[in-house]
Amino acid sequence: MIAYHRFARQPLPPPSARSMLLTVIGEFLFDSDEGAWTAALMKVLGGMGIEEHAVRQLLSRAASAKWIERERVGRGVRWHLAEHGRALAADGIKRSSAYLEGPSPWDNEWLVLTVTVSQRKSTVRNRLNGGLSWLGMGNVNPGVWVTPHVDRQRELADLVSTLGLSDSALVLTGSLGLGGLATDEIVARAWDFSDLETSYRTLLTQDGGADPSDDDEVLLAYIELVSLQQRFMRLDPQLPKELLPEWVGREGAALFRRRREQWSATAHSRWTSLVAESAPRSTT
């Protein structure tokens, strides 16, 4: 499978090999009882520019992290999603659906977190920041995070608890009262959209390029598309129109939705064929 990349100019920095593997296994193994042979994963990830030795290291580390589990079948190894990997994939699928559908009308309610993290706990702080970004929360003031996605309160509580910050955190939901920041001031302080807007426009201006020429290219283009969508999802808080009326990110989400609908069936069909083709002879 020849390496393929649809975009001449990447809208965002390239994904890590680890992230690319998670994209592939989350997309193609979530609803699969068949799993995937090592050879199939090597072909696909090789088509995304990851070398064979790096793929073997990725699979080993992913197994250690409980993303996937190996099944020895004759001379071959077949991989399946492990429980932790399935939970990660399910969360990604849920968030992807929300991103592609667009935010619901806003009811003027906010989810607010105030939290203190010791300067000595840099790893905890980094994990917290990454988790809050994934939840679409913005940092409006030091130690104060907000989001209009009040339905993510349970996920926020799980994050705070997992990081051992419950004793220093306060989680609130409600509407704004008098005497504080106005809604537009909150948005301006909590999120900086300048770089993300540029990235979305880079994506949109390249959408008219040549389509994939065969099923292999459709599969690789689809994987690249899903990976790119996931990275945009992490950066875009997906604010409702009431808070951000004119936002190019909604055009970006529509592009992802359109291309996924166009390529999904062919990509999944080619993946199924590739897995079958990669099976060791002794198992067929």
Residue 126's pLDDT band (cuts 50, 70, 90): very high
In the block, tokens 């995937």 appear at 36
150-207: pLDDT as tens digits: 999 999 999 999 999 999 999 999 998 888 899 999 999 999 999 999 999 999 998 8
Q: Is the pLDDT of residue 230 over 90?
A: yes
* Six-digit token string for 99: 């991103």
Beta-carbon count within 10 A of 60 CB: 11
Average pLDDT over residues 207-226: 89
Q: The dihedral of CA 122, 123, 126, 128: what is its sign?
A: negative
To the nearest whole number, what is the mean pLDDT of the chain?
Answer: 92
- Give the pLDDT score at 282: 60
8 Å CB contact between 110 and 173: yes
* Six-digit token string for 221: 């283009």
Three-state DSSP at 115 gives strand
Separation between Cα atoms, residue 88 and residue 96, nearest integer Å:
12
Partnered with residue 173 across adjacent β-strands are: 111
Q: Is the pLDDT of residue 254 over 70?
A: yes
Residue 9's pLDDT band (cuts 50, 70, 90): confident
Residue 283's pLDDT band (cuts 50, 70, 90): very low
Three-state DSSP at 37 gives strand
